[in-house]
Amino acid sequence: MSALCGCRATAISFVGRRAYLRVSTTSLRIRNLSSPMANVNRRVPDADQYFPLNDPPIGTAFPEDIFPQNAKLPLLFQPLTLRDVTFKNRIWVSPMCQYSSDNGHATDWHVVHIGGFATRGAGAICMEATAVVPEGRISPEDAGLWTDSQMEPLKRIVKFAHAHGTLIGIQLSHAGRKASTLAPWVHSKPGGTYRANTWTARKDEGGWPDEVYGPSDVPFSKDYPKPKAMDEQHLQYVEDAFVKAVERCKEIGFDFIELHGAHGYLLHEFVSPLSNLRTDAYGGSLENRLRFPLRIIARCRETWSKPLFVRISATDWAEGPEQGPDGEWKQWGIEQSKLFVGEMKKLGVDLVDCSTGGNWVQQKITVGPGYQVPFAEALKKAYPDYPIGAVGLITDPEQAESYLRDRKADVVFLARELLRTPHWPLFAARKLGAAVKPACQYERAFADLLVPSATNA
């Protein structure tokens, strides 16, 4: 079946449990079957071990002159270029904490977890929130990039993704006042068999409850550590740590970086008046609350030449209006988010990944399919030509396609749905009638995608 990579497929016949492609030798595109290499199971060039070559890369739409159904290619499978980096499609893996690192070091769990997405058609993978300082981890088992020894395990993952034609990035993070907490399944066992009386990870549990920092000394809740307000020296320390992590990303070989400014972690804490109660140059007015996050973004942009993203929470989901009658901002919301995005655009951020919530313990959210997309849409309307990513219970291919078609977003980030259905990009192609390349080893499971058709099925 690997011959499909270089020729016109005209039909599929099934013999026993194997599917064979009958091909026309008059329409060769990539390689000539009469050449000496025609029957060689080609390997990925420059890989440090043998991997079959996928040509075109997994998750890429086939050319329309071979597969006429791709003449009207769904937007999900159209490429997107940001800062000279071309993403093969617009179905991207959202960063998902795994709570499975060894003192910040990635393990074989991450190789399998991330590698699975790299071989199943996603256009890009963003690795989980990765702390730039040890006390910036969410939990004791969170990923980190504060020391050189953490680079090698990540290089292995990046090399694997690249060998399979998938772009990969990383989300750099500092948890702020939500640091030193328990992994979710440690705090609450499935089925309600156990629930801890606190989210705080104590010292004897690997935590650092006395070394948690935020913009102010206000804890997220009574069950979380009480943070220390960061002074100028600590602000500089964290800013420099972000830059050092970016430098390590260069050596590791990541294709893009996302800065985590959402979900109630440090950068989100600074921008929201609910968590930032400072009275100095970093608190009070919107300009002051944005000052430290923009400092970090600017330094990272200066250091990193490839695509730079920022994930934001567009609202705190707190009760009451975002702005009072007196013009004072009461909570973080979409209007301030628009202004924040405008400043990031000036700094050269290439894409804003729009999420919501996580900073107000009493938040009330009506959860449903695409429940966060209206916030991405609002940003897209404010900046029509600026790339925006949408997240939030995106599960159906037609739903996802409609967000791009209606210009509510430019890409979709999926998380839980990809955990349930890692081959979701190929299932989406099937449902939308597109012909997309599966991994060579998995072609037999997606034979219907490999049949040219005159119409979109």
Which of 262, 241, 59 has the alpha carbon at shortest distance from 161?
59
> In the prediction, which pLDDT does 18 show?
35
Closest CA to 293 of 254, 339, 244: 339
Domain covering 74-433, topology = TIM Barrel (3.20.20)
Cα–Cα distance measured from residue 241 to residue 44, given in angstroms and rounded to the nearest whole number: 35
Is 265 tagged catalytic? yes
Please identify which of the residues 213, 224, 265, 403 carries the catalytic annotation.
265
Q: Other C-beta atoms within 10 Å of 250: how many?
A: 13
d(CA 42, CA 6): 12
Please tell me whether residue 127 adopts helix, strand or coil conformation: strand
Residue pointed to by tokens 């890409």: 411
Backbone angles phi, psi at 439, to 5 degrees: -60, 145
DSSP classification of residue 279? -
CA distance 446 to 437: 9
Q: Which residues pair with 212 in a beta bridge?
A: none
Q: What is the pLDDT of residue 115?
A: 98
- Domain boundaries of the chain, sorted by first residue: 1-68+440-457, 74-433
Residue 246 has what pLDDT? 98
pLDDT tens, residue by residue, 106-152: 999 999 999 999 999 999 999 999 999 999 999 999 999 999 999 99
Rounded to whole angstroms, what are the CA distances from 126 to 19, 51, 82, 175, 296?
34, 22, 15, 17, 19
pLDDT tens, position by position, 68-111: 999 999 999 999 999 999 999 999 999 999 999 999 999 999 99
Please, is 432 exposed, middle or buried when counting C-beta atoms within 10 Å of its C-beta (0-12, 13-18, 19+)?
buried
Q: What is the pLDDT of residue 30?
A: 45
Low-confidence ranges of the chain (pLDDT < 50): 1-31, 33, 457
